[in-house]
Amino acid sequence: MNNRLQIQTPHWGLHEISSQVTAIVNKADVEEGLCSLFIQHTSASLLIQENADPSARHDLENWLNRLIQEHDPLYTHVQEGADDMPAHLKAALTNVSLTIPVVERRLALGTWQGIFLWEHRRRGGQRSIIIHIG
């Protein structure tokens, strides 16, 4: 079963999408299987991470922004803004797809795990995620 999830991100950062993915899994009514997610963009990514303490997300965002900074004089891909090439690099170093087991009709996430769309552009945008459950 394939679904498309549309997410509007208002700005850069980690945006939890666990509830939207869970709703699609519940609708699929699959007892055992896999839920695969694929984001159709080169400046955003997917992540499973701590969903209880927001400071973990804040620290991840700050760490990646220190690792990959804007205005690097070596960038040649600069027509779309100072955040564009760093967004591509961040997406290349993180995940554009995830696979999560479905066990007893539920995502087999750990107690403190959530599914996040990691927007790497400052302004955000409309993001499409293909979800396959089977």
Burial zone of 103 (CB within 10 Å; 0-12 exposed, 13-18 middle, 19+ buried): exposed
Fill in the DSSP letter of residue 95: B
Give the model's pLDDT for residue 30: 95
Mean of pLDDT values over 93-99:
97
- Give the Cα separation of 80 and 27 in Å (integer): 39
pTM (global) more than 0.85? yes
Give the model's pLDDT for residue 52: 95
Give the model's pLDDT for residue 2: 78
Fill in the DSSP letter of residue 6: E
Whether the CB-CB separation of 92 and 43 falls below 8 Å is answered with: no
Mean of pLDDT values over 115-126:
96
pLDDT > 70 in the chain, percent? 99
Q: How far is residue 31 CA from its own chain's centroid?
A: 25
Whether the pLDDT of residue 1 is over 80: the answer is no
> Going from the N-terminus, what domains does the chain have, and what CATH number goes with each?
2-70+80-133 (2.60.120.460)
The radius of gyration of the chain's CA atoms, rounded to the nearest angstrom, is: 16
